[in-house]
């Protein structure tokens, strides 16, 4: 259901709503869906690639996959995330 809600928002081409919907996935603990959502957002909004990579890294970190977040955090920094 969460994923369907995210996909519905993505189809509306509303950037802020799409990013908010992806954040809700993270808050709900749907970490794999969060990763997929931010990967989709990165493709649709390449100017926000760094933000997406930072959130993907966070999702991996929360899942204790500690080797994965490092690559995303470093890439996020290169792509403009704070």
pLDDT in tens, 66-79: 999 999 999 999 99
Main-chain dihedrals φ then ψ at residue 68, nearest 5 degrees: -70, -45
Q: Which runs of E-coded beta strand occur in the chain?
A: none
* pLDDT (tens digit per residue) in 27-46: 999 999 999 999 999 999 99
Predicted confidence at residue 11, as pLDDT, reads 62
- pLDDT value at 18 more than 70: yes
- pLDDT value at 13 more than 70: no
Name which of 60, 42, 62 is nearest 50 in CA terms.
Answer: 42
CA 62 to chain centre: 13
Whether the full predicted model's pTM is greater than 0.95, yes or no, is: no
Distance CA 55, CA 25 (A): 11
């Amino acid at each position: 259901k969460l994923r369907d809600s995210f996909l519905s928002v993505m189809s509306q081409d509303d950037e802020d709503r799409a990013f908010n919907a992806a954040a809700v996935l993270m808050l709900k603990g749907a970490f794999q869906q969060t990763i997929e959502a931010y990967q989709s957002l990165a493709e649709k909004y390449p100017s926000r690639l760094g933000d997406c990579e930072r959130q993907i890294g966070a999702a991996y970190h929360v899942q204790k996959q500690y080797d994965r977040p490092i690559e995303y955090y470093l890439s996020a920094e290169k792509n403009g995330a704070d």
